[in-house]
A = this chain, B = another copy of it.
């Protein structure tokens, strides 16, 4: 039996103001072609199909046409769970009809009681839920942290396990020790959200989404597929693709298959002059680039100049400032400064441009409206 494991498509994602829908359409087209060669028995998409709860028309349309091709035309069974980025009701709309063609969309905690059976393999799903939702579902306010909540779900699943069968789990969460990237939004802000590996030992294999690196964790039975594309510059060196699981009497064999994107993400470090004179070469001129440049002080509108040569420049960091910031910024005492000063510094740090007088006045005005005159509530 052959299973394809993918996750974190983040359809509709906008990176530094740049819509990635064209890149997503390109890569999903390649994914569909790959599937027609793989001829899998099942595709698993482990959450974060969309980037937001309110995806735009293009994103919804891209998911619909992709899944239509895979499920209705190529007749491949598909399991999809929600991630922390997905809106439940958007994702599971129509799911009662989809079940009939073996397209299983699972977004509710109670879905832990409804494993999917494919060729004698049982696939349990653990759709994403927040700590508050887990407390509410189990009517148990004594659940202290995320791991406890997940562990209650896993207990419920354990009761249904037949150890003579192959039991898989699909989830969307962080396993302790997993390598993180900048584009994974924290699941529950301010609480420890990691789940220890040992919680999952009753499964033959745990197929996860959430962490974007395809080799986020070294484990014999837990695996992340990684995201569909590079979604932050911290992922610029990561290959992206899907995983193939071959289940046979000898066990489970896992292979990672990379797919080349339309455009990669690249981080270029150097001096402004070298980059403008094209002494530093990008792997591909049309890649999405983050520049970390030195010697920027006397350049007016460096972004404009960079974009005229590298059209997909998405980010520019003043490397001199970044170095200084690294050394000093963490020690700045915020409570010695006015809100207006903090905003003005942040603006300069993020854009490398000093706030104009008009901008400063607008900020003052907004602060005054928000605080009713007291500038530092």
Asked if A98 is at the interface of the complex by the 8 Å CB criterion, the answer is: yes
A contact face: mostly helix, strand, loop, or mixed: helix
Q: Which one of B57, B89, B96 lies within 8 Å of A72 (CB-CB)?
A: B96
Asked if A60 is at the interface of the complex by the 8 Å CB criterion, the answer is: yes
Asked if A4 is at the interface of the complex by the 8 Å CB criterion, the answer is: no
Chain B residues lying within 8 Å of A249, measured Cβ to Cβ, are none
Asked if A81 is at the interface of the complex by the 8 Å CB criterion, the answer is: no
Asked if A151 is at the interface of the complex by the 8 Å CB criterion, the answer is: no
* Cα distance A94–B93 in the bound complex, in angstroms: 8
Asked if A129 is at the interface of the complex by the 8 Å CB criterion, the answer is: no
Chain B residues lying within 8 Å of A100, measured Cβ to Cβ, are 97, 100-101
Chain B residues lying within 8 Å of A93, measured Cβ to Cβ, are 60, 64, 93-94
CB distance from A294 to the nearest CB of B (A): 43
CB distance from A86 to the nearest CB of B (A): 14
Asked if A68 is at the interface of the complex by the 8 Å CB criterion, the answer is: yes
CB distance from A131 to the nearest CB of B (A): 22
Asked if A103 is at the interface of the complex by the 8 Å CB criterion, the answer is: yes
Asked if A199 is at the interface of the complex by the 8 Å CB criterion, the answer is: no
Interface size, A (range): 10 to 19
* Cα distance A57–B91 in the bound complex, in angstroms: 12
CB distance from A270 to the nearest CB of B (A): 45
Q: Which one of B60, B64, B68, B94 lies within 8 Å of A64 (CB-CB)?
A: B94
Asked if A234 is at the interface of the complex by the 8 Å CB criterion, the answer is: no
B96 touches A68 (CB 8 A): yes
Asked if A338 is at the interface of the complex by the 8 Å CB criterion, the answer is: no
* Cα distance A375–B292 in the bound complex, in angstroms: 49
Asked if A295 is at the interface of the complex by the 8 Å CB criterion, the answer is: no
A94 touches B96 (CB 8 A): no
* Cα distance A96–B89 in the bound complex, in angstroms: 19
CB distance from A137 to the nearest CB of B (A): 19
- Chain B: which residue is nearest A58 at the CB level? B89
A: residues with CB less than 8 A from B are 57, 60-61, 64, 68, 72, 89, 93-94, 96-98, 100-101, 103
Considering the complex of A and B, which 6 residue pairs feature the smallest CB-CB distances, nearest first?
Answer: A94-B94, A97-B97, A57-B89, A68-B96, A97-B98, A72-B96
A-B contact pairs, 21 of them (CB 8 A): A57-B89, A60-B89, A60-B93, A61-B89, A64-B93, A64-B94, A68-B96, A72-B96, A72-B97, A93-B93, A93-B94, A94-B94, A94-B97, A94-B98, A97-B97, A97-B98, A97-B100, A97-B101, A97-B103, A100-B100, A100-B101
